[in-house]
């Protein structure tokens, strides 16, 4: 705990803590109010006091950092700064972190594993996606007001570009640990549907809900923060950045070694990790986009045509990765033309024609012939 009548720079004196100057400079860059060296701690705002306590804890060079609701009462901007700093302490300084937290959006951003307690007893443990899919946790922790069987659902949504409607009155949903595949000919509105669901295009009508929360007015960035990852069909990577830099850009990890299992699955990415992503083939860019999306560890992943230009062997590897994440409770919505992948991963199907639903239902109940009838130009 800080002391009101001490200038907080005295508390943060690197010589007093044996801390390295580069780390201190990093912290001062992250939190500019620390540049006011001799301001009394009592004059700080609530948010600045919270942040000061975090900085003081970091200066003790702990092996294990214990944080009790570190973002309580902070503004959205302050919360984002604290979250980024916690991730930096984990990845760059090697700290292990245990956080007590009620804000599920924050938990999704920083947690590798979650333990849920109820009335002093262990209730559940696992990945963020598994916890969010756990019906007992949802009933006890989230409460009846947010109880829903679906991770992501949209009701009667319509929208398009400018004044023209591309998607008309489409409804669908996907549950934790399930894959909804969206099919149809080129130009029938599949990609537009994903952009509407993810907030990249405005709805003309209808609603989108994430774990029961209406996303009206919620930006694409905020939807990502809340637990949605989107992998687009086009411009899937940043060409001027290396493969490794593309992977690290949105990842909680800051060391490319964290992607070793993915590099083992797709050796070409390992071989080219230091090359500009723009030098990859179209299929290799798709692999990179998929790995980037999976590595964000969001409970809902939306992917637009992941197998376009990808070799059959790698398509099967993609299917294995998706099925592994399904088993952990992740929900997927995937636009796809490759029926081989669809056969391997799909639980539910949504077939579009001219922006409307042509077929919808369980993958086991819709025949390939019926699907193909709506995919032939």
How many whole angstroms separate alpha carbon 278 and alpha carbon 285? 8
Q: pTM value?
A: 0.69
> CA torsion angle for 108, 110, 114, 116 (degrees, to 10)?
-70
Identify the pLDDT of residue 5. Answer: 45
* pLDDT category of residue 142 using cuts at 50, 70 and 90: low
* φ, ψ of residue 57 in degrees (nearest 5): -65, -40
Residue 81 pairs with which residues in a beta bridge? none
pLDDT at 199 over 70: yes
Identify the pLDDT of residue 17. Answer: 47
State what percent of residues in the chain have pLDDT above 70. 89
pLDDT at 2 over 50: no
Q: No. of H helices and E strands in the chain?
A: 17, 14
Identify the pLDDT of residue 56. Answer: 84
State what percent of residues in the chain have pLDDT above 90. 42
* pLDDT category of residue 16 using cuts at 50, 70 and 90: very low
Arithmetic mean of pLDDT, 202-218: 91
Arithmetic mean of pLDDT, 101-117: 82
Identify the pLDDT of residue 13. Answer: 56
Query: pLDDT, tens digit, for every residue of 356-373?
Result: 999 999 999 999 889 988
DSSP, collapsed to helix, strand or coil, labels residue 136 as: helix
How many whole angstroms separate alpha carbon 318 and alpha carbon 310? 10
Measured at the alpha carbon of residue 293, what is the angle toward residues 289 and 299, in degrees to the nearest 5? Answer: 160
Arithmetic mean of pLDDT, 51-74: 84
pLDDT at 10 over 60: no
Spell out where the chain has E strands: 64-68, 96-100, 114-118, 121-126, 152-161, 164-174, 179-183, 205-210, 213-214, 228-231, 300-304, 331-335, 348-353, 356-362
Arithmetic mean of pLDDT, 249-262: 78
What is the helix, strand, coil percentage profile of the chain, to 5? 45, 25, 35
* pLDDT category of residue 341 using cuts at 50, 70 and 90: very high
């Amino acid at each position: 705990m800080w002391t009101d009548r001490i200038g907080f720079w005295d508390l943060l004196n690197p010589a007093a803590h044996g801390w390295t100057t580069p780390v201190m400079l990093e912290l001062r860059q992250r939190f500019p109010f620390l540049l006011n060296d001799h301001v009394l701690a009592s004059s700080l705002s609530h948010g600045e006091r919270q942040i000061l306590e975090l900085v003081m804890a970091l200066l003790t060079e702990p092996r294990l950092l214990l944080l009790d609701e570190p973002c309580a009462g902070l503004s959205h901007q302050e919360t984002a700064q604290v979250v980024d700093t916690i991730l930096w302490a984990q990845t760059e300084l090697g700290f292990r972190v245990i956080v007590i937290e009620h804000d599920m959006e924050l938990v999704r951003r920083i947690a590798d594993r979650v333990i849920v307690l109820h009335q002093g007893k262990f209730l559940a443990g696992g990945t963020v996606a598994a916890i969010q899919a756990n019906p007992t946790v949802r009933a006890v922790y989230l409460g009846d007001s947010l109880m829903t069987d679906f991770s992501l659902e949209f009701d009667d949504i319509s929208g398009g570009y400018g004044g023209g409607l591309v998607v008309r009155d489409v409804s669908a949903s996907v549950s934790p640990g399930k894959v909804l595949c969206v099919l149809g000919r080129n130009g029938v509105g599949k990609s537009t549907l994903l952009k509407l669901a993810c907030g990249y295009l405005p709805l003309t009508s209808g609603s989108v809900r994430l774990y029961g929360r209406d996303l009206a007015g919620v930006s694409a960035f905020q939807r990502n923060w809340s637990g949605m990852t989107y992998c687009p069909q086009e411009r899937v990577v940043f060409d001027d950045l290396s493969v490794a830099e593309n992977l690290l850009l949105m990842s909680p990890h800051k060391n490319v070694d964290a992607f070793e299992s993915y590099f083992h699955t797709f050796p070409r990415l390992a071989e080219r990790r230091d090359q500009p992503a723009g030098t990859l083939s179209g299929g290799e860019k798709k692999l990179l986009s998929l790995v980037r999306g999976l590595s964000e560890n969001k409970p809902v992943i939306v992917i637009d045509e992941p197998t376009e230009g990808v070799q059959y062997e790698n398509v099967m590897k993609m299917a294995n990765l998706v099925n592994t994440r399904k088993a952990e409770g992740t929900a997927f919505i995937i636009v796809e033309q490759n029926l081989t992948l669809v056969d391997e991963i799909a639980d539910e199907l949504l077939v579009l024609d001219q922006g409307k639903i042509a077929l919808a239902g369980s993958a086991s109940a819709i025949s390939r012939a019926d699907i193909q009838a709506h995919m032939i130009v």
